[in-house]
Structure 1
Amino acid sequence: MTTRRAFLAASGAFALTACATNPFKNGYPPIVFVHGNGDSASIWQSTLWRFESNEWPRERLYAIDLPYPLARDVDANPQPGRTSTAEHMAFLKAEVEKVLRATGASQVVLMANSRGGYAVRNYIQNGGGATTVSHAILGGTPNHGVWHSVAGLPNGSEFAGAGPFLTMLNAPKNANGDEVAGPVKWLTIRSDDNDKFAQPDGTWIGKRGTPTGVTFDGPQLKGATNVVLPQVDHRETAFSAGAFDAAYRFIAGEPPKLLVVKPEQRVVLNGKITGLGLSSTDPDSGNFSNNLPLPGARLEVFAIDPATGQRRGGPVHTRVVDASGLWGPFTTDPMTFHEFVITAAGYATTHIYRSPFQRGSNLVHMRPERIPAADQAGPSLVIMNRPRGYLDPHRDWMSFDGLTPPPGAVPGAGVSASRIKPSGAPRAVVAEFNGERVIGRTWPTANNEVTVLELTF
C-alpha cells in the first residue's frame, strides 16, 4: 500500500469511529467554496457530497463560479476573457454578501483551491473579509508563488513570488512576522513534495532545469495551521478525502463520521452547459475556458448498459438550455450509468460518460469540446479526464482502454487527461482509476463527434 493510500485508509478508519452529534451549538456555518485557475464550481462536487454525508445541510454549502476563471498574464494589464486579482476579489466579496443575506449568518467559512486562495487572502486582508469570515482553508494555494523571479516569466503575474501582488499579501502582519490577517482562523493544506506548482525545478512551468526559487513548503503561511498530506497532487490538496478530513476537523474541532460518500436513493441533478473561448495565443487549442452559459446548446441524457456502454432506449432527459445555461433538473438513482450528449453550434458533438452519481448536485457543469486539428484525422477521439486530481502511475492504479498506464500519464503528478484514437467500428472503451470505472463508446471523428470519460474522484 502506498503512503498516500495508507494515510487515507487510516484516517478513514479513525473517522468512522467519531461521534454522530452535531458539533455546532448555533447551527452549521455556511461554507463558500472557491475554485482555482481555469476551473468552475463543479470541481467541488465530491467535497460537497462528503460534507453532506456528515449531515452538513446542502443549503449551507455554496460553490461559486467566477465567469472568467483564468488569471491575466500580467495582473495590471487588461486581457480579454481573464480576471485581475482585484476583479477576482470583488466577485468573491459579492458572493459572500449574497450568502450572508440568504442564510442570515454573520460569518462564513471560505475553502479554496489554488488561485482561489489568492482571492480569499485578498478579500480578508483588503476587502472587509476579516469581519465576515471565521475560517479560511487554502488547499494547494501557491502562497509564495509558482516561481520567485525567473527570466522569461512575468514578474507582474499574480503567480510571481517576487511580484507586487504576493509581496503585498505576504508582508508581515505583526511583530511575529505572521503572513495571515486576523482574527480569521487559517488552515493551509499542501503536499509533501508532489504539488506541480510548488517545485524547486521549473519542469511543470516549461522551464525544466531552471530553479524556480520556490520550495515544497511554498503553500504554507506563517501564522496559519499548516497540514501536510503525503503524496497528494496539486488538486488533491483540496478535493481528496484527506483534504476533506483536514478541513472538517479544522472547522468542527472533531473528525468527520465518514470520508466516503453516503448515497441518496433519489438523485436530482442539475448544472450549467458552458462554452469555450478562443485562446488569443492558440485559437486551435479550444481550451480557453470560461464559466458563461451556452444558450441554445442541446443536452440529451441516456441510461446505458454498465458492461457495454450501449444505450438502453431513447433519451431519459432532453433540454435546450436558455440564457441561464441550466440543463436540469433530472432525477435518477445512484446505480445507473449515463451518457450526456451535448450538441452546440461551433462545437463537436460531445458524448460525456460518468460513473453513477451517488448524490444529487446542482454542480454537474459540462462543456462541449472542439476537436484540435491534430486529432481530426483519426477514426475517433476519446479523452480520459480526472478534473479533481492527476494521473500519476507512480502512486495510483489506472487503465484506459486496456493501456496501463494511459498515454501521457507520467510519474510526478501533473497530467490530468489522456487521449487515444481507437480504430475500427464503434465499440466500448473503459477508463479506470483506483477502483472507479467509467464506460463509454467511441464515436466517429469524421462526424465531428468526441467521447469524454470523466472520473468523479
Structure 2
Amino acid sequence: MTLTTLTRRALLLLTTAWLSACALKPADTLPPPIVFVHGNGDNASMWLTTVWRFESNGWPRDRLVALDMPYPLARDADDKPQAGRSSADEQMKFLADEVDRVLARTGASKVVLMGASRGGITIRHYIAHGGGAAKVSHAVLGGTPNHGVWSNPKFLPNSEFNGAGPLLTRLNNQGGPGIELTPGVKWMTIRSDSNDKYAQPDGLWIGAKGTPTNVGFDGPELKGAENVVIAGIDHRETACGPLAFAAAYRFLTGRAPVVIAAAIESRVVLDGKVSGLGVDNKPGSGNAANNLALAGATVEVYATDAASGERFGPALHRKAIGADGLWGPLAVNSKTALEFVVSADGYATTHVYRAPFPRSSTLVNLRAERIADADRDAPAMVALTRPRGYFGIPRDEIMLDGKSPPAGIAPGVAGVSLVKARLADAVPRSVAAAFNGERLVGRSWPTAGNHVVLLELND
C-alpha cells in the first residue's frame, strides 16, 4: 500500500468523522468558523491554498470565510480621509459585521480569526476596541507588523504602520505599559527569522535605504502570545505558506495536520469576484487596487494546453458581470489548465493563465488591469505573479521565458511578487514560467492591441 493511499484513507476517515459530527452534534462541537483577513492591498484570493489545506484536513467548507475588504489599502494618515483607501476603524467595522454574519449563519458562539500583515492589525483592533473579545476564541497573525514597519514619530506619524503612531501605541499598551494582548483570546503570531520585507532593521523596503526603521526581525511578535519563528519564509508566507498553515492548524487543534498539500477533487467548481482599479473603477480615478465589483465587465474562460498555452476550442464559459461581481460558477476537470479573459471599458483585455485547480474554490478572484506606462513601447509583455508569496534569490528557482532568474529580482530578502518579460516582437507565442517545480505556460498578446498577460501561480 502506498503512502498516497494511506494518506487518502486517513483523510477520508477524518472527513467522515467531521460529517458525522455535523449531522449529530450541536454547532459548537464542530470545528469553529475561521474568518480570514487579508493584508494591505490584497484580496480574499490570497487565502486560496490555505482554505484548500483546511478543507483537505476535514474542516467544513462552509466554515471557512475569506473577506474582501472594499478598499484594502491603508491611508497615509489614519486620521485623514484619502480617496480609495481605508482607515483602521473602517476595516474594523467591516470585520465586525462579517463576524456577526458568520456567527448568525453557523450558530457558533465564537470564531477563529486569521490575518495576514495589515489584517492582523485589524483583528487586534477589533478584539481590543470593537467588541471582538467576546466573539473570538483564537487569533492567528501572520507577518503582522505589530510593532510597526517603522517606529518613528516624525515619519508618517499617524500611519497605521508606524509603531510609534497612535493605533499601535494603544494596542501595545492595553491596560498598562507593555500589555500587548487582549485577555480571553488565545493568540499566536507567525514570523520569519529574517526574510520578511516588512520586519527589517533597514528602511530599504519602505524607500529609505540606510535609515534605521527602529524595528527588528521580531517586530511581529507579541508579549504573552505563542510566537512561532519559521526560517526562510517571506512576508506573505507567514500567513499563506504551508508551514504557516501547519503551525496554525496545530495551534487550533492540538495536533499536526494529516496532509499539507490540497487533496485533489476530480471535478471542481470555480467562482470568484471581478474587481478593478481606482476609487470607483472608472478611468481617471486612479490605479490603486480595490475589491469593488467591476459590474459591466465580461469574463471568458478557455481550456488550454498546459504545455503550450494554446486554447482548446471555444470558451467554456462566458458571463457579463453583475452587481455582485461574480464571474462563475464554472465546473471543470481538475486536470484542465485555464485562461481567464477579463474585458471592461477603460481597461486592457486582461489574460490570466492558471495551472489546473486541484480543488473547488469561490476565491478565484480576477482583476482587470491597465497597461503600465513603462510597458507601452514593448511589442508584448508577460508577467509572472505570485499572490501568496514573494520571489527570493537565491532561495527560489525561478524561470520566465527562458531566463533564470528573471530580471527585476535582487538577491537577498524576498520582496517582489511580480516579474515581467519584455518580448522582442508582437507575434503570439508560448511563454513558459516555473517556480520551485510548479510550471505554467501561457501565450503572449500584443501590447498595441491593449492586452495584459499574467501567468498566475497557484502555490
Give the corresponding residue for 1:339.
Answer: 339
- How much identity, in percent, do the aligned residues show? 56
* Structure 1 residue identity aligned to 2:215: V
**1:420 CA drift (Å):** 1.5
* 1:53 alignment partner, one of 53, 56, 59: 56
Give the corresponding residue for 1:241.
Answer: 242
Give the corresponding residue for 1:312.
Answer: 312
**Aligned partners of 1:109 and 1:135 also within 8 Å:** yes
- TM-score where L is the length of structure 1: 0.93
- TM-score where L is the length of structure 2: 0.92
Deviations along 1:278-326, one digit per CA (max 9) or x if unpaired, are: 69xxx99964010000111111111111111111101011011111111
* Structure 2 residue identity aligned to 1:366: L
Superposed counterparts of 1:408-427, under 5 Å? 408-411=408-411, 412-424=413-425, 425-427=427-429
For 2:279 and 2:209, locate their aligned partners in 1 and report how far apart those are by CA, in whole Å.
28
**Aligned partners of 2:84 and 2:279 also within 8 Å:** no
**1:17 CA drift (Å):** 12
For 1:112 and 1:16, locate their aligned partners in 2 and report how far apart those are by CA, in whole Å.
29
Deviations along 1:75-112, one digit per CA (max 9) or x if unpaired, are: 00011111111111111000000000000000000000
For 2:193 and 2:140, locate their aligned partners in 1 and report how far apart those are by CA, in whole Å.
17
Correspondence 1:110 to 2:113: yes
For 2:186 and 2:53, locate their aligned partners in 1 and report how far apart those are by CA, in whole Å.
22
**1:119 CA drift (Å):** 0.9
For 1:394 and 1:17, locate their aligned partners in 2 and report how far apart those are by CA, in whole Å.
38
Give the corresponding residue for 2:386.
Answer: 386
Give the corresponding residue for 2:289.
Answer: 289
Match of 1:243, SS state, is helix
Give the corresponding residue for 1:454.
Answer: 456
**Aligned partners of 1:113 and 1:235 also within 8 Å:** yes
**1:393 CA drift (Å):** 2.0
Deviations along 1:437-457, one digit per CA (max 9) or x if unpaired, are: 111000001110121000111
Give the corresponding residue for 2:267.
Answer: 266
**1:276 CA drift (Å):** 0.6
**Structure 1 pair 164–440 and aligned structure 2 pair: CA distance change class (3 A):** same
Correspondence 1:232 to 2:233: yes
Deviations along 1:317-346, one digit per CA (max 9) or x if unpaired, are: 101111111110000111111111111000
Deviations along 1:247-285, one digit per CA (max 9) or x if unpaired, are: 000000111000011111110000111011169xxx999
Deviations along 1:154-213, one digit per CA (max 9) or x if unpaired, are: 0110100101110000005469x4411111000000000010000000000000000000
* Structure 2 residue identity aligned to 1:244: F
**Aligned partners of 1:173 and 1:181 also within 8 Å:** no
For 2:348 and 2:129, locate their aligned partners in 1 and report how far apart those are by CA, in whole Å.
43
**Aligned partners of 1:38 and 1:290 also within 8 Å:** yes
* 2:101 alignment partner, one of 98, 113, 126: 98
Cα RMSD over matched residues? 2.1
Give the corresponding residue for 1:358.
Answer: 358
Give the corresponding residue for 1:133.
Answer: 136
For 1:325 and 1:170, locate their aligned partners in 2 and report how far apart those are by CA, in whole Å.
38
* 2:166 alignment partner, one of 159, 164, 176: 164
**Aligned partners of 1:16 and 1:258 also within 8 Å:** no
Deviations along 1:54-83, one digit per CA (max 9) or x if unpaired, are: 011100100011101110000000111111
**1:423 CA drift (Å):** 2.1
Give the corresponding residue for 2:251.
Answer: 250
Superposed counterparts of 1:151-230, under 5 Å? 151=154, 153-173=155-175, 177-230=178-231
**1:215 CA drift (Å):** 0.4
For 1:115 and 1:192, locate their aligned partners in 2 and report how far apart those are by CA, in whole Å.
19
* Structure 2 residue identity aligned to 1:211: P
Match of 1:116, SS state, is helix
Match of 1:186, SS state, is strand
